[in-house]
Amino acid sequence: MKYLASKVKGNSLWSDALRRLLSDNLAVFSFLVIAAYIVTALLASSNLIAVNWQDSIGASQAAPSFVDGFSHWMGLDIFGRSVLQKTVQGAYTALYVGLVSSLISIPIGVLMGALAGYFGGWVDDLITWIYTTISNIPEILLLVSIAFALGKGIETMCIALGMTSWVGLARLIRAEFIKHKNREYVAAAQALGASHSRRIFKHIFPNVLHIVIIGFSLRFVVAIKSEVVLTYLGLGIEIGEGSSWGLMISDAAGELVQGIWWGLASATLAMFPIVLAFSLFTDALRDAFDPKLRT
Amino acid sequence: MFAYIVRRALYAIPIMLGTTFLLFLLYNFVGGDPALVKAGKHATAETIATIRAEMGLDQPWYLQYWDLLMQVLKFDFGRSWSTNLKITDMVADGAGTSFSLTFPVFVMSTCLSLLLGIFVAVKRGSFIDKGLVTLAVGAQSISVLVYILAGQYFLAYKMGWFPISGYEPGLTERWAYFALPWLIYILIAVAPEMRFYRTIFLDELYQDYVRTAKSKGLDSNTILFKHVLRNALIPILTNLIISLPFLILGSLLLESFFGIPGLGGLIVKAIGNEDRPVIYALTVVGTIAYVIFNLISDILYAVVDPRVQLK
């Protein structure tokens, strides 16, 4: 008597999604890769690994060697610093840029999208105008303009990336709120006397939260790649603000002709798995929350 | 139809005002006093006052904004801080070069990704589909800078198959210098574009009309090229049109690495020199181009798909 009606237990969107994620080997593997990078970054930032990355430990630009200890595995840079340790520290910078820029862009995107979709009318017109305005300025030039206005460096880069990247999320959230605001459960909440803010955040928001989570994961893909390009253009990490894969790859522009390939190789090898893992995990999240969309 | 076009065109006006105002705020207020930036660190109070009067910064903000709008309408953005050339001339010179670099390769990479996109969408779920999509996701996980650095180093410097960098203005001479940037552009662009077109074709392939066409016995090629491709062309065309402004702006990284004097290279140089008026002018020009092409794309969409006007 397995199928007695009383025994049938409903699954929530979340438990269903979690079950799908856990049964997806690639998703689990991607998540483990991301977790490994987070642990590495935390250890590096709390001075437990790659502590002395700023110290010279040997001859300038010494080639990779496996006999002098693991700090020499990826060779040394022009100041005799361990490229491997710099790469490990770079993981912290990459995740920091991803995290801080998402913490700026996601609240703005959610709030703007929710208000526009929920209230409609002039609020919608105003917010749509604001984000259309921002999205009509070519992104790279807007980033340059913000960097000119606020100065250079890692903080500005995070602010600039955050301020320019909320539009996509706001559009998605707005569309969802338009769909949800006329549903019965919202009308029921209203009948019980729930205020606008309660209906927006307590009732509708949990139903669109999965979009926020997907957006959060995707932000990291974009932020880690943007850091490299912006740093090369001189708008990102400044020398002295720590080690970053962008700085290492930018240095390679001058190093390659001297036959020094290890800085570029090390940064690229470190960047590839984490960007790939975030991309695959984002896709897996999308599939898990909305199997209909599965491509 | 006409009413829709007029309505849509009028909507471009507040957008233009919004973008110019945002840039005005960024450059004239958020970024501090532009006269101080231009004068440099060791300027005397008098010099600063002169510069301020020259730049019109002693006027109230709405007059300054009005000046900016006039600049845009007259297409006159003053002179570059670093080269002292007229910015309008710099833009006009660079735009053609950039376009001749990006347009041919844009056509090539679009055709290639469209073909690949249709191919993997039709073979959905097969080994080749999974393989190519995984390869594309992997290819996108490598920084574009790495493609450029590695391509320039191995193919030009080590192998000597291409010039390392350089440019000759003659229409026939420049292609030799463009060959390697093109190859790299295609390597970078095909992966995301193929995935984009794959999604579009998959959206269409599972529509009811495809099932109807199948059940009335049409062969799969007719369905694909006569029915599916036609419907898929709407999002594809609109997407292509809004990409056009970026072709004029060129490719920042390719132009700077290969020494091609287009707008992209100009932007990179201006960033290095903190040449604000140049970046400012290019941002405004880029935005206007984007707004116009967005407008064209929306109108075209409405022409092809009458349902749009109802929204």
Mean residue pLDDT of chain A comes to: 87
Interface test with A, best of B20, B30, B81, B149 (most A CBs within 10 A): B149
Q: Is B186 helix (H, G, I), strand (E, B) or coil?
A: helix
- DSSP letter for each residue of A98-141: HHHHHHHHHHHHHHHHHHHHHH-HHHHHHHHHHHHHHHTS-HHH
Q: How much is the average pLDDT of B163-170?
A: 78
Question: Which residue numbers of A have CB closer than 8 Å to B's CBs?
Answer: 129-130, 132-134, 136-138, 140-142, 144-146, 148-150, 225, 228-229, 232-235, 245, 249-250, 252-253, 256-257, 264, 268, 271-273, 275-276, 279-280, 295
B274 compared with B113, residue with greater pLDDT: B113
Q: What is the pLDDT of residues A2-27, one digit of tens each?
A: 555 555 667 777 888 888 888 888 89
Backbone angles phi, psi at B86, to 5 degrees: -70, 130
Complete domains list, chain A, with CATH: 24-40+82-293 (1.10.3720.10)
Query: For residue B76, which of B64, B61, B92 has the smallest C-alpha distance?
Result: B92
- What is the Cα A276 distance to its own chain's centre? 12
How many CB pairs below 8 A link A and B? 121
Res B309: pLDDT: 64
Q: Is B202 on the interface with A (CB under 8 A)?
A: yes
Whether the pLDDT of residue A294 is over 60: the answer is no
By the 10 Å C-beta count (0-12 exposed, 13-18 middle, 19+ buried), A3 is classed as exposed
Res B284: pLDDT: 87
Measured at the CA of A92, the angle between CA A91 and CA A95, to 5 degrees, comes to 85
Q: Is B157 on the interface with A (CB under 8 A)?
A: yes
By the 10 Å C-beta count (0-12 exposed, 13-18 middle, 19+ buried), A209 is classed as middle
Among the residue ranges B67-76, B263-272, B275-284, the one predicted with the least confidence is: B67-76
Q: Is B251 on the interface with A (CB under 8 A)?
A: no
Res A75: pLDDT: 80
Q: How much is the average pLDDT of A97-101?
A: 95
Q: Is B286 on the interface with A (CB under 8 A)?
A: yes
How is residue A33 written in tokens?
A: 């890769």
Please state, in angstroms and as integers, the Cα–Cα distance from residue A261 to each residue in A93, A251, A256, A266, B43, following that order: 22, 10, 6, 9, 44
How is residue B93 written in tokens?
A: 């010179």
Q: How much is the average pLDDT of A48-57?
A: 77
Out of B26, B141, B142, whose CB is closest to A146?
B26
The C-alpha torsion from B50 through B53 and B57 to B63, rounded to 10°, is: 180
Whether the pLDDT of residue A93 is over 90: the answer is yes
Partner A, chain B 47-106, Cβ-Cβ below 8 Å: none
Q: What is the pLDDT of residues A193-217, one digit of tens each?
A: 989 999 999 999 998 999 999 999 9
Mean residue pLDDT of chain B comes to: 85
ipTM for the assembly: 0.86
Among the residue ranges A155-164, A234-243, B103-112, B300-309, the one predicted with the least confidence is: B300-309
Chain B residues close to A250, C-beta within 8 Å = 145
Q: What is the pLDDT of residues B170-223, one digit of tens each?
A: 777 778 788 889 999 999 999 999 999 999 998 888 888 889 988 988 888 888
- DSSP letter for each residue of chain A: -TT-GGG-----HHHHHHHHHHH-HHHHHHHHHHHHHHHHHHHHHTTSSSTTTTS--SSTTPPP-SSS-GGGTT-B-TTS-BHHHHHHHHHHHHHHHHHHHHHHHHHHHHHHHHHHHHH-HHHHHHHHHHHHHHHTS-HHHHHHHHHHHH-SSHHHHHHHHHHHSSHHHHHHHHHHHHHHTTSHHHHHHHHTT--HHHIIIIIIHHHHHHHHHHHHHHHHHHHHHHHHHHHHTTSSPPTTS---HHHHHHHHHHHGGGT--HHHHHHHHHHHHHHHHHHHHHHHHHHHH-GGG--
Res A84: pLDDT: 86
Out of A129, A138, A272, whose CB is closest to B287?
A138
